[in-house]
Structure 1
Amino acid sequence: MLSQSELNSALNYAVRKGSIDIVRTLQQCGARLTYLTFQDAIERGNVALFATFMDYGWNIDSTEFEYPAVANTVSHPDLLRWLLEKGANPNTRSTRALGSCGPKITPLSCAALEPETLGLEILLEYGASMDNEALFHAIDRHMSGTIAHLKILLDHGADINHWTRRWGAPLHFAVRCNTEDKLKYLLDRGADPTIRDLVGRTPAEVALADGKHNLYEILRRLPDAKGICGVVT
Structure 2
Amino acid sequence: MAARIRRLRNELKAGPENVTVERVQEDFNKVDGLYGRAKLDFVPILEIAARTGRVDIIQTLLYNGCELSAPIYQAAVNGGSTAVFEAFLQSGQWEINYPCMKDDQPVLGFVCKDLTLTNWFFENGADPNIMNSKGVTPLSKAVGDAPSEMVEYFIQHGGLVDRGWLFNYAVRRDSEEIEVVDILVRHLKILKSEDMGEVVKCLNRVEYDGHFDDCHIYNRPFTPLNEAVANGKEALVRHLISKGADPNTPDGWNRNALEWAEQLHPELEDVIKNPLG
Greater shift, 35-44 or 214-223, is seen at 214-223
Kindly tell me: are residues 52 and 203 of structure 1, through their superposed partners in 2, closer, same or farther at Cα, counting changes over 3 Å?
Answer: same
1:192 aligns with 2:223: no
| Cα displacement (A) at 1:214 | 2.4
Larger radius of gyration: 2
Partner of 2:82: 47
Do the aligned residues in 1 keep the contact of 2:221 with 2:253 (CA within 8 Å)? no
CA distance in 2, matches of 1:10, 1:202: 51
CA distance in 2, matches of 1:149, 1:91: 18
1:15-59 Cα deviation digits (max 9, x unpaired): 233122232233233332132221111101111111111111121
CA distance in 1, matches of 2:255, 2:61: 59
Partner of 1:213: 266
> How many residues are matched?
215
Q: Is there any run of 5+ residues in structure 1 with no aligned partner, and where?
A: 96-102, 224-233
Match of 1:192, SS? coil
* TM-score after normalising by structure 1: 0.79
Partner of 1:83: 121
The 5 Å alignment of 1:129-208 reads 129-130=160-161, 131=163, 133-140=165-172, 143=174, 146-157=177-188, 159-164=202-207, 166-197=220-251, 201-207=255-261
Kindly tell me: are residues 18 and 147 of structure 1, through their superposed partners in 2, closer, same or farther at Cα, counting changes over 3 Å?
Answer: same
Q: State percent identity of aligned pairs.
A: 27
* TM-score after normalising by structure 2: 0.68
CA distance in 1, matches of 2:108, 2:149: 13
Partner of 1:230: none
Match of 1:210, SS? helix
CA distance in 1, matches of 2:257, 2:229: 7
| Cα displacement (A) at 1:222 | 5.1
Do the aligned residues in 2 keep the contact of 1:68 with 1:93 (CA within 8 Å)? no
Q: Is there any run of 5+ residues in structure 2 with no aligned partner, and where?
A: 1-28, 33-37, 189-198, 210-219
